[in-house]
Structure 1
Amino acid sequence: MGRDGLGARAVASPLESARFGCSVDRLTVHSEHPSSFPTVREAVLGSAADVIVLRYPADRVDWFAKLAMLGRTAIFADSLSYWRLRAGEGRRPEPSQGLRTTRITDAAAVGSLVSEIFAAYGSHYSANPLFGATEALAGYQDWALRSAAEGRCLALGTAAADAYLGLATLDEQGPRTEILLAGVVPEAQGRGLYAHLLKGIEDGTLARGADEILISTQGHNTRVQKAWARYGFEPVRAVLTVHLVKSRLIP
Structure 2
Amino acid sequence: MAWHDVIEAPTLRAQESPLESARFGCSVERLTVSAASETPLVAVREAILGSTADVVILRYPAERIGWFAPLTGLGRTAVFADSLVYWRLSAGRGRAPAPSHELSVTAAPGIAAVEALVADIFSAYGCHYLANPLFDPAQALAGYQEWALRSVAEDGCLALRGPDGNGSSLLAFATLDEDADRSEILLAGVVPAQQGRGLYAHLLKAVEDRTLARDAREVVISTQGHNTRVQRAWARYGFEPVQTLLTVHLVRSPLLHGQG
TM-score interval, smaller chain? over 0.9
* Alpha-carbon distance in 1 for matches of 2:104, 2:50: 50
* Alpha-carbon distance in 2 for matches of 1:45, 1:100: 52
Find the counterpart in structure 2 of residue 76 from structure 1: 80
* Alpha-carbon distance in 2 for matches of 1:69, 1:153: 43
Find the counterpart in structure 1 of residue 222 from structure 2: 216
Find the counterpart in structure 1 of residue 116 from structure 2: 112
Q: Secondary structure at the match of 1:39?
A: helix
Deviation at 1:160, TM superposition (A): 1.9
* Alpha-carbon distance in 2 for matches of 1:103, 1:52: 36
Find the counterpart in structure 2 of residue 144 from structure 1: 148
* Alpha-carbon distance in 1 for matches of 2:172, 2:38: 36
Q: Share of identical aligned residues, percent?
A: 64
Q: Secondary structure at the match of 1:62?
A: helix
Q: Provide Cα deviations, 1:113-165, integer angstroms capped at 9, x if missing partner.
A: 00100000000001000001100000000000000011001111113231211
1:174 pairs with 2:180: yes
* Alpha-carbon distance in 1 for matches of 2:249, 2:129: 9
Q: Is the 8 A contact 1:75 1:243 kept in 2?
A: yes
Find the counterpart in structure 2 of residue 194 from structure 1: 200
* Alpha-carbon distance in 1 for matches of 2:145, 2:10: 33
Deviates more, 1:154-163 or 1:20-29: 154-163
**What TM-score do the two structures reach when normalised by structure 1?**
0.96
Matches within 5 A, 1:1-251: 3=10, 8-104=12-108, 106-162=110-166, 163-251=169-257
* Unaligned segments of structure 2, at least 5 residues: none
Question: Would you say how many aligned residue pairs link Structure 1 and Structure 2?
Answer: 248
Deviation at 1:240, TM superposition (A): 0.5
Q: Provide Cα deviations, 1:11-66, integer angstroms capped at 9, x if missing partner.
A: 11000000000000011111122311111111111110000010010000011001
* Alpha-carbon distance in 2 for matches of 1:161, 1:98: 10
Q: Provide Cα deviations, 1:71-96, integer angstroms capped at 9, x if missing partner.
A: 10000000011111000000000100
* Alpha-carbon distance in 2 for matches of 1:9, 1:104: 32
Deviation at 1:190, TM superposition (A): 0.5
Structure-2 change in CA distance of 1:9 and 1:42 (3 Å): farther
Deviation at 1:3, TM superposition (A): 4.1
* Alpha-carbon distance in 2 for matches of 1:104, 1:119: 20
* Alpha-carbon distance in 1 for matches of 2:99, 2:68: 47
* Unaligned segments of structure 1, at least 5 residues: none
Q: Secondary structure at the match of 1:25?
A: strand
**What TM-score do the two structures reach when normalised by structure 2?**
0.93
Q: Secondary structure at the match of 2:193?
A: helix
Q: Is the 8 A contact 1:84 1:214 kept in 2?
A: yes
Q: Is the 8 A contact 1:165 1:185 kept in 2?
A: yes
Structure-2 change in CA distance of 1:152 and 1:9 (3 Å): closer
Deviation at 1:101, TM superposition (A): 1.4
* Alpha-carbon distance in 1 for matches of 2:214, 2:106: 15
Structure-2 change in CA distance of 1:197 and 1:66 (3 Å): same
Q: Is the 8 A contact 2:13 2:33 kept in 1?
A: no
